[in-house]
A = this chain, B = another copy of it.
Amino acid sequence: MFAPKKKTRNPELRNQRKSFDLLTMAANVSSHYHVDLLVKEKRNLEEYENGDRHRQINNVISSPSSVLPPENGNGGIGLKLDINGGKGVTSNGGLSVSVPATPSLPPVISGWYADVSSLSPGEARFYEVEKVLFHGKSKYQELLVFQSKKHGKVAILDGSLQLTERDEFAYQEMLTHLPLCSIPHPKKVLLVGGGDGGILREISRHNSVEQIDICEIDEMIIDAYKKFFPDIAVGYKDPRVQVYIDNGIAFLKKIPEGTYDAIILDAFVEMGKHAVELADNDVLRSIAKALRPGGVVAIPSNNPWSIDSSMEAIILKCQNIFGGSVNYAWTTVPSYNNGTMGFLLCSTKGPKVDFKNPINPLNPNHFGVAEGPSKFYNSEIHAAAFCLPSFAKIATGSEVA
């Protein structure tokens, strides 16, 4: 896990550009330097590997290896932190560079986390890191948690930014309340994925709900969020919550027909390889079957700035599979790609669901296990979420008003 990244510098590039020798040397110097630090400081990182927890001593200042999936073929864009010796020095006093094998990826900056997404090429978002808090690898995925300078704690799953404390509530609240506020008195709700607990926290605001089931594949996620994100994992404290540690796909297949009023699928491409599997057609059919007639499902989707005409096909597919209403919505989540997140809302054949006009508003006096009323969601922003820029209306097959 802590091996230095493979140096896959492009020799052709180097030949064409002899004048870079000095820079290359500089890069090598800092790269080697880093490797030394990593070896020395490995003991300082709290680890969670292959299901075995073991707490490491001392403060946590170290450097996980690349967190990008290997198919990107790069030598390691990710996080590099320097040792600060526990003296209160900020982590950005030193510098390091590292030669990316793929020219379109930016080099590593010491003390900053580089968020690079295939959905936003030619762009990288850097977050200043104060301290790495956790770096764990289960048999399913790799989780990195760091304290950022200005965005609260940040969680990175398999190399993709999963959430920041600064804006997680926008995503969690919209993904939960868009479906639950669209149907009368939801009673049985299933969450697939969402091991962080934030969606549970939001479901908890709904008094009508009697049963909250969550199926999460990876116990490490639950443990890490309970420890490092108590305000998010607070959702687990709701006594209606029943946790199933299981593969979401297998779990969905076992559900008796018509069991749930609402299902929330907290998984999308950027959430790692297990999320991709979850968005499969068969899975959508399993969800449709598990819902009662006129039941609803919410699924994260591409953001409005990255959708294209294939979105219309996806909507048509969902209409076929679910048989009721299908709508695309979006909202602002600054730390996600293009600062936005898309949602697909589908209902099964049965009592008609009008997602654009919520009939079951949140009661601001019922917090459930949350600390206070919702910070983002309200009935106005619910309705507004279905209003799209003209280019996105065209991509989703709607007429431009």
Q: Which residues on A are within 8 Å of B, measured CB to CB?
A: 10, 13, 16-17, 19-20, 22-27, 29-30, 33, 82-85, 87, 89-90, 92-97, 99-100, 103-104, 106-107, 109-110, 112, 120-128, 148-151, 167, 170, 304-305, 330, 332, 334, 338-340, 361, 364, 373-381, 383-384, 387-391, 393, 400-401
In the complex, A127→B33 CA distance in Å?
Answer: 27
Of the A-B pairs whose beta carbons lie under 8 Å apart in the complex, a sample of 29, sorted by A's number, is: A10-B93, A16-B89, A16-B93, A17-B94, A22-B33, A23-B94, A23-B110, A24-B94, A26-B29, A26-B95, A92-B104, A92-B106, A104-B149, A106-B112, A106-B126, A121-B149, A122-B150, A125-B125, A330-B332, A332-B340, A334-B338, A338-B339, A364-B400, A373-B390, A376-B389, A376-B391, A378-B401, A379-B401, A380-B387
Q: Which residues on the B side are within 8 Å of A30 (C-beta)?
A: 22-23, 26, 97
Contact A381 to B387, CB < 8 A, known contacts A125-B125, A151-B122, A332-B340: yes
| Interchain CB contact under 8 A, A128 and B106 | yes
A contact patch SS: loop
| Interchain CB contact under 8 A, A104 and B124 | no
| Interchain CB contact under 8 A, B112 and A124 | yes
In the complex, A26→B23 CA distance in Å?
Answer: 8
Number of copies: 2
Chain B nearest CB, measured from A269 CB (Å): 18
Contact A128 to B104, CB < 8 A, known contacts A387-B383, A391-B375: yes
Closest 7 CB pairs of A and B: A339-B339, A122-B150, A384-B387, A122-B149, A26-B26, A384-B384, A20-B94
